[in-house]
Structure 1
Amino acid sequence: MKNAMDLVAEAKAKINEVSVNDAPNEIQKSDVLIDVREPDEFRAGHIAGAVNIPRGMLEFKLSGMPELQDRDKRVVVYCKTSGRGALAAVALKEMGYLQVHSISGGLDAWIEAGKPTVKPDLPEFG
């Protein structure tokens, strides 16, 4: 029986991972940067320009977004450590997206490399 790590390892063998050092260039060339973490993780900090589509909703959200129906769009995905990102990249490939990259090591590696993150502007209550 396979566990989550087995599935991630299989996914990583099927996708294009980009190193943290090469990620800014790949993001700049992309049409969309997708953070597949949960909304509370996204609010705590994310890569500038990312849209938040949690891994569990990815296929459903993309199917309902006319602006992302073009399967030739360049897509970069990431999560916290790259497991969900790898699984998301496989799902995108299976949906017919042709140019999908996942950031190796995810946001943790991005932050460790000293790259910037942003937080969404939220209203202040109180």
Structure 2
Amino acid sequence: MRVAFIGASHWHLPLYLEPALALPGLTLAGMADPDAARAEALGARYGCAFDRDFRALCRREKPDFVFALGRHADMPEQAEFLIAEGIPFALEKPCGVNLEKVAGIAALAAARGA
């Protein structure tokens, strides 16, 4: 399974990444972070693809699963993209800054059968 992490400079990254890397058959597909230097450093450290644009990384690397971390204000946009692309994901909580944003994610997921 090819797994990517977006919003990878989030302090929770090790809580997800370290157990994931211990799973047999898991390949780290890439790291994305708006901070280009951080994305590059993580890519170099783990020997995987990297990009500052999570959309570009996902479209290029085609992960089977994404851990979406980062700022809560950015999570609805991340979720909307991943749902539209049909990429299964785990979204850090809270996944939005208000009920309207979170309800929008739920409605989109329901409409797509996700």
User: What's the TM-score, normalizing by structure 2?
Assistant: 0.41
User: Greater RCO between the two (CA within 8 Å, min separation 6)?
Assistant: 1
TM-score (norm 1): 0.38
